[in-house]
């Protein structure tokens, strides 16, 4: 059985406000699921619900085959959770803190020292074990937070914005760590940093106003982002009529200063044809670039067209 998390028809209301609306998805072993969404879209709420920190208004969560609402204790054993603000006791040393976490997760006493050592090593906390958490830098505190989430080797690791407030080197290290964790565990990662998803995730899921608007693999997303327009720069004004007449071309936009954007159908790539046409018409082709929709654009499109939503197959 490899399905680690099954979420079905999750709803969560705060008073009249519906924070999570009919969210459902699954997480398989070896998947790193990037959970994207603008601020206030319901990412953190969904994660808190999955981790049993918040009760859903309705819906079902199954973690590693155990229902979270029926048997929370059993289900939580398979979970490691790093909330947005790492739950650190600042007056403790790193070792004391991790020991407490190990105890809370019922790691037998004789295996505790080893579990702490492994978690510390994986998170690069080797030489700060005896230091007070309060005196550590933000990056190290974040790592202690991650160490806390993986110390009991849970089947599923849920990280809520793990790279917020870190410097670029630390971000790279944490991403590396996440990729490594993804090999043995299922990982859910929430973020609003888009390249992070492209870099470390295998699957992506966009949530907007409490609803899932996209659920795809990274490859699928790459396809979504594939080019459907070309940017031309010419020496002399382009014969727009002639380019427009080409089969695969849908439309041409004049951007001014002899720059044109040519929209074409997604399937075909008429670059060669267009180049020949432009050169033949003597406009002097200076530059031709295939435009890619960035993840940002996909994201903005997705969240803007959220009104015209159709039900997504989960």
Partner 1 sequence: MMALIIAAREFRTLFISPLAWAVLGVMQLILGFMFLTQLDYYLMLQPRIAGMEDAPGITDMIIVPLFGNTGVLMLLVTPLLTMRLIAEERRNRTLSLLFSAPVSISEIILGKFFGVFAFLLVMVALIALMPLSLLLGGGLDFGKLAACLLAMALLLGSFASIGLYISAHSAQPTVAAVATFGALLGLWIIDWSGKSDDKSGGVLQELSLLHHYENLLRGLVSTTDLAYFFLVIFAFIVLSVHSLDNDRLQK
Query: Given the rule CB under 8 A, which residues bind partner 1?
Result: 14-15, 48, 51-55, 72-74, 76-77, 79-81, 83, 85, 87-92, 100-101, 103-106, 148
By beta-carbon proximity to partner 1, the closer residue of 85 and 289 is 85
Q: At what angle do helices 138-150 and 94-104 cross, to 10 degrees?
A: 30
By beta-carbon proximity to partner 1, the closer residue of 52 and 270 is 52
By beta-carbon proximity to partner 1, the closer residue of 73 and 110 is 73
What minimum distance in Å lies between the beta carbon of 152 and partner 1?
9
What minimum distance in Å lies between the beta carbon of 275 and partner 1?
57
By beta-carbon proximity to partner 1, the closer residue of 189 and 204 is 189
Q: Token pair 């760590």 is at which residue?
A: 177
For the chain, the straight-line distance linking the first and the last C-alpha, in angstroms and rounded, comes to 18
d(C-alpha 93, C-alpha 201), whole Å: 32
Walk across the sheet containing 79-82 and list its strands. Answer: 79-82, 156-160, 186-191, 32-36, 203-208, 211-217
What minimum distance in Å lies between the beta carbon of 72 and partner 1?
8
By beta-carbon proximity to partner 1, the closer residue of 148 and 277 is 148
By beta-carbon proximity to partner 1, the closer residue of 101 and 204 is 101
Two structure tokens written together for 115: 């579990």
What minimum distance in Å lies between the beta carbon of 102 and partner 1?
10
Nearest to 156 by CA among 81, 79, 84: 79
What minimum distance in Å lies between the beta carbon of 141 and partner 1?
12
What minimum distance in Å lies between the beta carbon of 271 and partner 1?
52
d(C-alpha 157, C-alpha 275), whole Å: 50
By beta-carbon proximity to partner 1, the closer residue of 70 and 280 is 70
The DSSP H or E segment spanning 86 is: none
What minimum distance in Å lies between the beta carbon of 52 and partner 1?
7
d(C-alpha 19, C-alpha 13), whole Å: 6
Two structure tokens written together for 247: 């089969």
What minimum distance in Å lies between the beta carbon of 119 and partner 1?
14
d(C-alpha 125, C-alpha 259), whole Å: 53
By beta-carbon proximity to partner 1, the closer residue of 57 and 297 is 57
What minimum distance in Å lies between the beta carbon of 22 and partner 1?
20
DSSP 93: B
Bridge partner residues of 36 (DSSP): 191, 206
Two structure tokens written together for 209: 């106003």
| Full 3-state SS string of 30-79 | CCEEEEECCCCCCHHHHHHHHCCCCCCCEEEEEECCEECCCCHHHHHHCE
Q: Token pair 């979504």 is at which residue?
A: 224
By beta-carbon proximity to partner 1, the closer residue of 48 and 211 is 48
- Start-end of H helices in the chain: 43-50, 72-77, 94-104, 109-122, 138-150, 168-184, 194-200, 218-225, 240-244, 271-280, 295-304
């Amino acid at each position: 059985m490899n399905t680690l998390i099954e979420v079905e028809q999750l709803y969560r209301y705060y008073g009249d406000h519906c924070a999570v609306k009919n969210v459902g998805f699954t997480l398989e072993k070896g998947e790193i699921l990037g959970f994207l969404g603008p601020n206030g879209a319901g990412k953190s709420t969904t994660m808190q619900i999955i981790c049993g920190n918040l009760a859903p208004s309705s819906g079902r969560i199954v973690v590693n085959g155990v229902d979270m609402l029926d048997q929370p204790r059993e289900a939580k054993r398979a979970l490691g959770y790093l909330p947005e603000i790492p739950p650190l006791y600042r007056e403790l040393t790193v070792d004391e803190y991790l020991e407490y976490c190990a105890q809370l997760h019922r790691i037998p006493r004789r295996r505790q020292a080893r579990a702490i050592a492994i978690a510390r090593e994986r998170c690069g906390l080797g030489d700060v074990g005896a230091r007070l958490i309060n005196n550590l830098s933000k990056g190290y505190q974040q790592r202690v937070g991650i160490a806390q989430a993986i110390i009991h080797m849970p089947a599923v690791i849920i990280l809520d914005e793990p790279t917020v407030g870190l410097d670029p080197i630390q971000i790279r290290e944490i991403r590396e760590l996440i990729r490594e964790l993804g090999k043995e565990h299922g990982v859910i990662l929430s973020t609003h940093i888009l390249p992070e998803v492209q870099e470390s995730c295998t699957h992506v899921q966009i949530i907007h106003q409490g609803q899932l608007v996209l659920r795809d693999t990274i490859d699928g997303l790459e396809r979504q982002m594939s080019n459907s327009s070309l940017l031309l720069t010419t020496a002399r004004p382009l014969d727009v009529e002639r380019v427009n007449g080409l089969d695969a071309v849908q439309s041409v936009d004049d951007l001014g200063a002899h720059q044109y954007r040519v929209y074409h159908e997604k399937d075909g790539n008429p670059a060669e044809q267009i180049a020949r046409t432009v050169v033949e018409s003597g406009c002097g082709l200076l530059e031709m670039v295939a435009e890619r929709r960035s993840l940002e654009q996909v994201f903005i499109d997705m969240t803007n067209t959220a009104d015209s939503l159709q039900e997504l197959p989960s």
